Amino acid sequence: MDDAQARALIEEIVRSESSDWDCASVNDALASLVERELGGKARVDSGLAEHLDLCPPCAELHATLLDLARMEAEGSLPGASALWRELRAAVTAVPSQAGRLGAGSGETGRSIAGRGRTRGVPTFRGASPHLAPGWRMSAAGLVAVLVLGLGWRWASTRASETDAQLSQVALQLEDLRSELIRTRAQVTETERRVAAARVDATQAALRLDESADTMDRIGRLDRSVLDRREDGAWLRVFYTDGENRAIGVLGDLADMPELSNDAYLEGWLERPDGSVYSTGIAMRAGDALAPWTIEAQAPLGDHRAFIVTLEPAHESVFEVALGPDG
């Protein structure tokens, strides 16, 4: 379109007495127009239709807004980069068209003023008080839609990431809870074992006390009296000094003959004059090694020896010397 055609277009708009539409009012009405067109209820005012036919920038803005609204309704709104290109294309069309139409339009502006028209009429100059604000409002609306859409998408993405992080934290907390339960169970088991060990230690201490008490009651161990090894056998006696009673234990009887059903071991104490007397049966066939009591007719230290014999054969098994001469 050359300058002559542009001036003719402006004069045609001005001469349209039936039209009260200018670019500013068209920009204000485009949003509601697009909404009604999408709803199938569009009834375009003849003046508005005429303005859209004669004004390429307004017609291009109307078509762009209508396409964007349809895509939004269909769920196929383009991405941020494509939407921004559409917006730039619509906005940058204003100064380019205004520059082309503004050349030589001063006369037309004066003729409009001379006719006394009080409504806003575009001069299509770059600093038009009517055209530029409307375009700025439409552009601002598109930018707001773009910013809100991108903001919603960013917020949704952040919310999804936050939900995933919270789920991961919840799983970690559950693992820590399970580990804490296992640790508490282990601590409880350890405490139980410690308590059992304390009970065992207490019982052991009691047994030691009982043993010490027994030692006190029985007497003291005097190895110089009865602690002799004779042919693989030995006899240990706990006794009380100055008493005639002792407790003896046989052990390490590897060389002792096997006891038959009627055989048994018998203990003897020998006096200094060589005479002996029995202290009782020490062990029968099948008996386990166990202490037996030795009852002496005189203090043990007054005897020459303690003798163990296999009966009824009356064979000496071993002999332990006693007294100062032992």
Considering 136, 160, 184, which residue would you say is the last residue of a domain? 160
The answer to the question of residue 220 being in a domain is no
Could you tell me if 53 and 154 lie in one domain?
yes
Could you tell me if 7 and 150 lie in one domain?
yes
Find the mean pLDDT for residues 201-222: 66
Find the mean pLDDT for residues 83-111: 48
The answer to the question of residue 185 being in a domain is no
Would you place residue 51 in the very low, low, confident or very high pLDDT band (cuts 50, 70, 90)?
confident
Find the mean pLDDT for residues 179-197: 87
Could you tell me if 117 and 238 lie in one domain?
no
Containing structural domain, residue 285: 227-321
Side chain identity at residue 121, one-letter code: V
Could you tell me if 243 and 103 lie in one domain?
no
Please give the DSSP secondary-structure letter assigned to residue 123. Answer: -
Side chain identity at residue 190, one-letter code: T
Could you tell me if 149 and 252 lie in one domain?
no
* pLDDT at res. 287: 67
Considering 160, 192, 219, which residue would you say is the last residue of a domain? 160
Could you tell me if 7 and 137 lie in one domain?
yes
* pLDDT at res. 112: 37
> Residues 250-278, buried b or exposed e (16+ Cβ, 10 A)?
beebeebeebeeebbbbbbbbeeeeeeee
Asked if pLDDT for residue 80 goes beyond 70, the answer is no
Find the mean pLDDT for residues 256-268: 79
The answer to the question of residue 214 being in a domain is no
Q: Using CA atoms, how far apart are residues 120 and 143, in angstroms rounded to an integer?
A: 26
Could you tell me if 7 and 152 lie in one domain?
yes
Could you tell me if 122 and 267 lie in one domain?
no
Asked if pLDDT for residue 168 goes beyond 70, the answer is yes
Could you tell me if 9 and 153 lie in one domain?
yes
The answer to the question of residue 173 being in a domain is no
The answer to the question of residue 205 being in a domain is no
Find the mean pLDDT for residues 214-222: 52
Considering 140, 160, 180, which residue would you say is the last residue of a domain? 160
Find the mean pLDDT for residues 260-277: 87
* CATH number for 241: 2.60.40
Q: Which residue has the higher pLDDT, 85 or 241?
A: 85
Residue 62's contacts (CB-CB under 8 Å, 6 or more residues apart) are 30, 33, 34, 52
The answer to the question of residue 40 being in a domain is yes
The total of structural domains in the chain comes to 2
Could you tell me if 134 and 238 lie in one domain?
no
Could you tell me if 88 and 236 lie in one domain?
no
The answer to the question of residue 72 being in a domain is yes
* pLDDT at res. 222: 45
Q: Using CA atoms, how far apart are residues 117 and 103, in angstroms rounded to an integer?
A: 21
Could you tell me if 117 and 264 lie in one domain?
no
Would you place residue 142 in the very low, low, confident or very high pLDDT band (cuts 50, 70, 90)?
low
Asked if pLDDT for residue 89 goes beyond 70, the answer is no
Find the mean pLDDT for residues 127-154: 52
* pLDDT at res. 97: 45
Q: Using CA atoms, how far apart are residues 24 and 41, in angstroms rounded to an integer?
A: 23
Return mean pLDDT, the chain: 66
The answer to the question of residue 169 being in a domain is no
* pLDDT at res. 132: 47
Find the mean pLDDT for residues 256-274: 82
pTM listed for this prediction: 0.30
Would you place residue 216 in the very low, low, confident or very high pLDDT band (cuts 50, 70, 90)?
low
Instruction: Give the other-Cβ count within 10 Å of 302's Cβ.
Output: 15
* pLDDT at res. 149: 59
Asked if pLDDT for residue 75 goes beyond 70, the answer is no
